[in-house]
């Protein structure tokens, strides 16, 4: 796995030092109702941009929401059994990857394969019409983001929205009657007489005290909490981290110590201007409203935006589904969809450093992205009709709102930032925000989806890429058309080494990654079935090539020097292969893997018995490795 900058131990040291310095104190964080929020956003989180729900075309909301519900209903959302610091862990959120056909996205030692989105009306035959429509809707959303994220002048989107936020806060939408919001003023870091400044110093990855790889490994880690049926297994493996994650008890002197208990102030914060009372009177969140009503309820809150007409109008040319590629400079090629219903989670971890609340996704950087590329996120929280009916006084959308948390990496000076998201809100992480900052997702009360659009760095992550690699390797295999006898064209060690590496790449980065995720891909969509079969056929030919390589090494009467070099090359490749096979076997047979239902259970494939006549070499390479080793000793 790629690691960026600094050694493990250096980071651990740095982290420890900063944690020591922080002691029992919490780092302050600001939400929209805190003084200084806007300024903090501008000065320390300027790469974050927000686009409110109301400024997206309603049709798009409708299609995207329907798509997400379809995908959920089909069971497409699954928790990933990822690897963090050599441990197998289930992600707390369930996920599915959509994107350009043949693209993959790799995170935490897991390669996700896209369900292809459908860019035009020529519907693929890989999935049924409902799924196909869902994929298309997310492609449309992707086009919207491609166009929107690079479209505006710096800061445009959120400046407008912040103005709106501040307006909403200043007008203290008392219709909501949230008394807690006042109390929370007392716990603002800015009210602590400068303590927020003085108590902080060079932190580090505080979050990483329970996940030391977090800052480097990025993306989701073990921080993702347990849930449902895997809880017990998860907890037993993570009791140490869970211990670490527990909020600290000593809060004295911490300006944010009481913040956690005053989450109401966030719930008291309203996006709507005072006077927009529809949600209150109906007690329903926007999602439950008829479209016309929704439009009306949002209209009082529209941002005065140069693109407003274009965005809310019918004629969004950039949404034209007939186009196969998206306009705009940001070419998001995948979206990783997340889903979590907090009610189904028996235990979510508390955000440990700021006291921000329960985390659905722990602190991380998004990994495997093109450097400096933006990330665009659509947030959809499903409102619970029953609850909404009961709490007619408070808009359910604000109560128990989902929030995104941000922090500056390796920094305990700068307060964290939380941004509540109402259903349909979108946010962008631009410039180097993802590199310099980390983000987490703080769970609200309702079930929630997000669609996170990314420019995946896929120079070695597309089907085209791996197919061309396979062709390259197989170009060294010659078959006599008359006898069918196989031979290797080149026996140069450097050449053979390259081809053995391709052999390992296709086996471990593609075949085993794919089958480890069980039947999940073929269950919903047949797109990958045939390519995977082809890759497996290519790989089998490469097994034959390795066998020929071994035969050449073991052949007597060759010049000693050349043979030694060949044997060493082969030994390295085989040892590597043997180790990786064992790692994948272990992953497939881990106790967590056993908890999965058959259709999701990892498959250890390719696997074959020693006496399988169709396979040129055994699965277990121990004997061959011994043979090559002793041959080298004898030389």
| Chain contacts with ligand AKG (rule: CB under 6 A) | 219, 336, 338, 361, 366, 377, 379, 404, 439, 441, 450, 452
Strands 437-442 and 448-454, by their bridges, are unpaired
C-beta of 161 vs 361, nearer to ligand AKG = 361
Measured in degrees and rounded to the nearest 5, phi and psi for residue 55 equal -100, 10
Distance, in Å, from the CA atom of 75 to the CA atom of 521, rounded to the nearest integer, reads: 11
Give the shortest CB-114-to-ligand AKG separation in angstroms.
Answer: 15
404 SS3 class: strand
Give the shortest CB-439-to-Fe ion separation in angstroms.
Answer: 6
Residue in the shown chain whose Cβ atom is closest to ligand AKG: 450
Quick one: which of 224, 251, 366, 394 contacts Fe ion (CB under 5 A)?
A: 366
Distance, in Å, from the CA atom of 364 to the CA atom of 375, rounded to the nearest integer, reads: 13
Stretch that binds Fe ion, among 275-283, 311-319, 362-370, 471-479 (CB under 5 A): 362-370
Give the shortest CB-573-to-ligand AKG separation in angstroms.
Answer: 35
C-beta of 67 vs 429, nearer to Fe ion = 429
Q: Are 354 and 406 in contact (CB under 8 A)?
A: no
Residue in the shown chain whose Cβ atom is closest to Fe ion: 366
Stretch that binds Fe ion, among 67-75, 232-240, 332-340, 366-374 (CB under 5 A): 366-374
- For Fe ion (CB under 5 A), the number of binding residues is 1
441 binds, among Fe ion, ligand AKG, none (CB under 5 to 8 A by kind): ligand AKG
15 binds, among ligand AKG, Fe ion, none (CB under 5 to 8 A by kind): none
Both tokens of residue 561? 């020097």
| 80 Ramachandran zone, left/alpha/beta (phi>0; psi -120 to 50) | beta
Strands 416-421 and 29-30, by their bridges, are parallel
336 binds, among ligand AKG, Fe ion, none (CB under 5 to 8 A by kind): ligand AKG
Contact positions with Fe ion (CB under 5 A) in 586-615:
none
Order across the sheet with 349-350: list the strands.
29-30, 416-421, 402-408, 437-442, 358-364, 349-350
Both tokens of residue 94? 């369930």
Q: Are 264 and 181 in contact (CB under 8 A)?
A: yes
Q: Are 535 and 470 in contact (CB under 8 A)?
A: yes
Both tokens of residue 105? 């996205």
Partner residues linked to 408 by β-bridges: 437
Give the shortest CB-515-to-ligand AKG separation in angstroms.
Answer: 24
Distance, in Å, from the CA atom of 527 to the CA atom of 504, rounded to the nearest integer, reads: 23
Give the shortest CB-431-to-ligand AKG separation in angstroms.
Answer: 17
Question: Whose structure tokens read 């043949």?
Answer: 102
Give the shortest CB-479-to-Fe ion separation in angstroms.
Answer: 48
Give the shortest CB-225-to-ligand AKG separation in angstroms.
Answer: 14
C-beta of 360 vs 624, nearer to ligand AKG = 360
Distance, in Å, from the CA atom of 189 to the CA atom of 206, rounded to the nearest integer, reads: 19
Give the shortest CB-283-to-ligand AKG separation in angstroms.
Answer: 26
The beta strands (E) that lie in 219-278 are given as none
C-beta of 38 vs 450, nearer to ligand AKG = 450
Verify cis geometry, omega within 30 degrees of 0, for the bond prior to 143.
no
Q: Does 350 bind Fe ion (CB under 5 A)?
A: no
C-beta of 80 vs 366, nearer to ligand AKG = 366
450 binds, among ligand AKG, Fe ion, none (CB under 5 to 8 A by kind): ligand AKG
C-beta of 326 vs 375, nearer to ligand AKG = 375
Q: Which positions lie near Fe ion, rule CB under 5 A?
A: 366
């Amino acid at each position: 796995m790629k690691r960026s900058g600094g050694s493990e131990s250096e980071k651990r040291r740095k982290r420890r030092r900063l944690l020591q310095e922080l002691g029992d104190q919490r780092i302050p964080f600001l939400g929209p109702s805190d003084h200084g929020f806007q300024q903090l956003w501008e000065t320390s989180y300027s790469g974050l941009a927000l686009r409110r729900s109301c400024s997206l075309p309603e049709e798009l909301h409708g299609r995207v929401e329907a798509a997400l519900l379809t995908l959920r209903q089909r069971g497409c959302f699954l928790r990933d059994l990822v690897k963090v610091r050599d441990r197998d862990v289930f992600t707390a959120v369930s996920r599915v990857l959509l994107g350009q056909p043949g693209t993959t996205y790799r995170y935490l030692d897991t390669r996700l394969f896209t369900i292809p989105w459908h860019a035009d009306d020529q519907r693929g035959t890989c999935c049924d019409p409902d799924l196909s429509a869902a994929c298309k809707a997310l492609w449309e959303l992707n086009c919207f983001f491609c166009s929107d994220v690079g479209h505006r002048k710096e800061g445009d989107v959120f400046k407008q929205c912040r103005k709106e936020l501040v307006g909403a806060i200043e007008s203290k939408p008392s219709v909501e009657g949230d008394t807690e919001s006042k109390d929370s003023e007392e716990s603002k870091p800015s009210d602590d007489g400068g303590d927020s400044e003085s108590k902080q110093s060079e932190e580090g990855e505080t979050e990483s005290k329970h996940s030391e790889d977090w800052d480097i490994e990025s993306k989701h880690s073990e921080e993702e909490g347990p849930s449902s049926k895997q809880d017990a297994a998860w907890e037993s493996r993570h009791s140490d981290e869970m211990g670490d994650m527990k909020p600290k008890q000593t809060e004295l002197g911490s300006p944010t110590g009481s913040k956690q208990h005053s989450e109401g102030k966030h719930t008291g914060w309203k996006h709507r201007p005072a006077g927009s009372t529809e949600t209150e009177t109906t007690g329903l969140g926007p999602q439950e409203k008829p479209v016309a009503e929704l439009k009306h309820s949002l209209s009082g809150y529209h941002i005065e935006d140069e693109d407003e007409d274009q965005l809310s109008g019918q004629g969004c040319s950039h949404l034209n589904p007939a186009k196969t590629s998206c306009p705009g400079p940001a070419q998001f090629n995948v979206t990783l969809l997340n889903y979590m219903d907090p009610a189904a989670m028996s235990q979510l971890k508390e955000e440990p450093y700021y006291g921000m609340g329960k985390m659905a996704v722990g602190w991380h950087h998004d990994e495997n992205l093109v450097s400096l590329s933006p990330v665009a996120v659509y947030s959809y929280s499903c409102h619970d009709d029953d609850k909404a009916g009961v709490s007619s006084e408070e808009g359910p959308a604000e109560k128990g709102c989902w929030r995104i948390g941000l922090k500056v990496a390796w920094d305990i000076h700068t307060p964290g930032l939380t941004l509540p998201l109402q259903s349909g809100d979108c946010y962008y992480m631009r410039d180097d925000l993802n590199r310099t900052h980390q983000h987490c997702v703080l769970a609200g009360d309702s079930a929630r989806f997000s669609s996170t659009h990314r420019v995946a760095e896929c120079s070695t992550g597309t089907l085209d890429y791996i197919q061309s690699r396979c062709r390259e390797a197989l170009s060294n295999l010659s078959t006599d058309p008359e006898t069918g006898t196989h031979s290797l064209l080149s026996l140069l060690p450097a050449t053979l080494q390259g081809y053995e590496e391709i052999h390992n790449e296709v086996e471990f980065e593609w075949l085993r990654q794919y089958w480890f995720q069980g039947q999940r891909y073929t269950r919903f969509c047949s797109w990958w079935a045939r390519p995977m079969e082809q890759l497996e056929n290519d790989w089998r030919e490469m097994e034959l090539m390795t066998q020929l390589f071994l035969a050449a090494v073991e052949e007597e009467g060759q010049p000693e020097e050349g043979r030694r070099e060949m044997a060493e090359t082969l030994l390295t490749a085989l040892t590597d292969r043997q180790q990786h096979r064992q790692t994948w076997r272990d992953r497939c047979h881990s106790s967590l893997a056993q908890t999965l239902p058959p259709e999701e259970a990892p498959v250890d494939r390719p696997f074959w018995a020693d006496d399988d006549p169709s396979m040129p070499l055994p699965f277990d390479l121990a004997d061959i490795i011994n043979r090559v080793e002793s041959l080298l000793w004898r030389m």
